[in-house]
């Protein structure tokens, strides 16, 4: 793994090259380096500038899609990878990316098709091979359970995408709280799960798929409140015949989802969510 200093030097050198030659394709590795450092605003500027010049470059669309994915804008990421595949049907990065999105959405068959293509093109890529193996395992379990119509999912296969927090045990995050193992979910604003769990009424693990969607929901809630002149959003609640959902933001970088059966009133959910948010904040502070 490269040292931080070496990566900074490399980014500086690539930036200098791009400034001296704006038409250079160096924007691709530069954008990726910035993305890996978490500098998503800068990465996005570089990617969009490159796309402006090379709108028919599948690699450029792939880079932008990865940045959108990191931002939790999964639908837009899907669109970009879709464009990449239309430009270059065998584009490995796009197959991996779309495969991941289908997996998160529980569409295992479609995930398999894309990840098989990626793994075939890159036999030495551990990420693609591992992802493919996990999807095949999930499909085999579904077939063994005889649940052909089920949408069985499990934790996301592409572990390099997980926000794994060193030194913390995410499974103990809500220990002791009502619904600690199912119905309490902590995620970051990019849509990546930090802790907790959620299953569907049929018992399928839907935590990662829901986390991915919630990032977009919170952005939409924030935008709605802001543009309607209502200030910052505080909470978002939804009643459904199968249960109630309640979303709050324990910190500016995280979201908490609480799901309870319909018999629990929304007012009570607000109190429980407030308490769980406090637990989440304490856990996050313990990681600092």
Partner 1 sequence: MRAVEPWVEGPLAAFLDESAARLTLLMTSAGQVLAQHGFTRAFDVMSAAALGAGIMASTDELARLMDAPPFRALAHQGVQHGLFLSGFDTPQGRWIGLVVFGPESSLGLVQLFFQRLVADLAKQAPTEAPSNRVLASDFEDELNASLRTLFGQ
Partner 2 sequence: MPEFATALDLITRVHGVRGAMLVSVSDGLVVAESSMDGVDGAPVAALTASLAGRLRRTTEAAGRRLPTFIHLRAATGTVLAVPSNDDLLVVTIGAPDINVGLARLEMLHVAERGI
- The binding site for partner 2 (CB under 8 A) comprises 105-106, 151, 198-202, 204, 206, 209-210, 212-214, 216-217, 220-221, 223-225, 227-243, 245, 259, 266
205 forms bridges with which residues in the sheet? Answer: 199
In angstroms, give the least distance from the CB of 203 to partner 2: 9
Angle at 109 between CA 108 and CA 114, to 5 degrees: 95
What φ, ψ does residue 171 adopt, rounded to 5°? -70, -15
115 binds, among partner 1, partner 2, none (CB under 5 to 8 A by kind): none
In angstroms, give the least distance from the CB of 96 to partner 1: 22
Q: 170 or 216: whose CB is closer to partner 2?
A: 216
- Going residue by residue from 60 to 99, which x/- string records binding to partner 1, judged by CB under 8 A? ---------------xx--x---x---x------------
Q: Calculate helix-pair angle for 27-36, 40-53, nearest 10 degrees.
A: 160
**Sign, Cα dihedral of 38, 40, 41, 47:** positive
112 binds, among partner 1, partner 2, none (CB under 5 to 8 A by kind): none
Question: Is 239 an interacting residue with respect to partner 1 (CB under 8 A)?
Answer: no
In angstroms, give the least distance from the CB of 48 to partner 1: 7
Task: Output b/e per residue, 134-165; b: 16+ Cβ within 10 A.
Answer: bbeebeeebeeeeeeebebbbebbbeebeeeb
């Amino acid at each position: 793994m490269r040292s931080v200093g070496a990566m900074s030097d490399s980014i500086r050198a690539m930036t200098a090259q791009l400034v001296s030659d704006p038409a250079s394709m160096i924007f691709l590795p530069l954008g990726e380096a910035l993305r890996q450092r978490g500098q998503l605003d800068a990465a996005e500027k570089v990617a969009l500038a490159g796309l402006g010049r090379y709108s028919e470059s599948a690699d450029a669309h792939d880079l932008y899609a990865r940045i959108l994915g990191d931002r939790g804008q999964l639908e837009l990421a899907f669109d970009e990878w879709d464009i990449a595949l239309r430009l270059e049907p065998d584009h490995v990065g796009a197959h991996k990316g779309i495969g991941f999105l289908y997996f998160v959405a529980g569409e295992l068959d479609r995930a398999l098709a894309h990840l098989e293509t990626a793994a075939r093109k890159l036999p030495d890529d551990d990420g693609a091979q591992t992802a493919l193996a996990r999807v095949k395992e999930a499909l085999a379990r579904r077939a063994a359970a005889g649940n052909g119509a089920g949408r069985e999912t499990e934790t996301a296969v592409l572990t390099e995408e997980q926000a794994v927090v060193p030194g913390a045990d995410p499974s103990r995050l809500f220990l002791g709280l009502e619904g600690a193992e199912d119905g309490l979910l902590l995620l970051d604003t990019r849509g990546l799960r930090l802790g907790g769990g959620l299953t569907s009424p049929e018992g399928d693990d839907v935590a990662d798929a829901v986390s991915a969607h919630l990032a977009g929901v919170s952005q939409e809630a924030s935008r709605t409140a802001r543009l309607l002149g209502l200030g910052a959003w505080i909470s978002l609640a939804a009643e459904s015949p199968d249960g109630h959902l309640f979303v709050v933001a324990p910190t500016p970088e995280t979201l908490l989802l609480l799901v309870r059966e319909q018999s629990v009133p929304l007012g009570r959910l607000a109190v429980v969510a407030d308490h769980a948010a406090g637990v989440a904040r304490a856990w996050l502070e313990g990681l600092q």
